[in-house]
Amino acid sequence: MLRTLINQRLGRYTITELLGRGGMAAVYRATDTVLQRDVALKVLYPQYSDDQSLVERFTREAVTAAALEHPHIVPVYDVGEHEGMAYIAMKLLSGETLQDHLQRVGAIGPDELCRLLAPVADALDYAHSRGVIHRDIKPGNIFLCQTPSGAAQVMLTDFGIAKRLDAPGLTTTGALIGTPDYMAPEQIAGRPVDARTDVYALGMLAYRALTGRRAFDGSTQDVLMGHLYRQPPLPSAVAPGLPAALDPVLLRAVASDANSRFPSAGAFVRALGDTAAAASPAPDLPMAAYALGAPPPGINSAPTMVNPAIQIAPPPPPPQITSAPLAKTHTTIGSTGRQIVSASPR
């Protein structure tokens, strides 16, 4: 693991606080001594710095993320190496993740979910239009924060395992990259991925947020087999208060066959919102705002609010794979390994 870096310099950055650790990297709060601003600095662990292929991938992923300029994608400021330690400098966010919010409240209603997912879908459609697939959509990578002016903002984070569609060689053969609860069948089986892979993950995220339950329970292997061979239980059966009209929308998003899914993240969220509105003529209880609780580990910030005014943006048989046990590594931050299964909090 990393030696103590607090108060140390990495190039132009002075590290001030550890924000979190992942399987391949740690994230620090740091001060950019040139521009005089705080940043989130992701630093690759030293034990991986000797593997040039990993360092190159770490850098390549930073370049991929830096090319995405969207109001709901966390910007990458800089990438570099100092005394053998590779790092990526990103915008420092203040707030909490959707994962933290769901752990506190259990489940949320369709209207609230659509308000939160609309900016995420817009960000994904933008990335997809530029040939970039996220591959790790999950509640922990959706950040609920506020701008310096106090405006609410939803941000999509961690394009650390993003894949360019025009760069097929980025992932080592046989690699499994992502978070089991949200991985599409083609991702698990090592088949080509595209925008519909992220749609599947967004559908699984919506299932979790609306029902308060994961679609598949059990060990990592059980969960992966569920994605490959089973259909999730009907959402309205898991959460009886949920309108049954939402069932076909959610199940289409997580169809095993990518051709049966919604063609884009935006199309899915719009269908979800339209169906929820038709199924519930009376609006939800007003959500003037909900207070975000204590910041998650590694986030030093005051509670913030999410504004309900966020609007929805306008717009085969299962594969045969072996069931050998999979390696399981915590990789919430810095997902850059050869065989990686991210086991984030559920």
3-state SS class at 77: strand
Both tokens of residue 264? 């884009």
**Residues 47-77: b if buried by 16+ CB within 10 A, e if exposed:** ebbeeeebbebbbbbbebbbebebebbbebb
Whether the CB-CB separation of 300 and 19 falls below 8 Å is answered with yes
CA distances from 195 to 153, 163, 343 (A): 24, 11, 23
Q: First vs last Cα of the chain: how many Å apart?
A: 25
Catalytic residue among 111, 125, 136, 158: 136
Give CA–CA dist 45/262, Å, rounded: 38
Whether the CB-CB separation of 331 and 337 falls below 8 Å is answered with yes
Instruction: List 87's β-bridge partners, or say none.
Output: 43, 80
Give CA–CA dist 42/27, Å, rounded: 4
3-state SS class at 192: coil
136 is catalytic: yes
Q: How many helices (H) and strands (E) does the chain have?
A: 10, 13
Whether the CB-CB separation of 341 and 136 falls below 8 Å is answered with no
Catalytic residues: 136
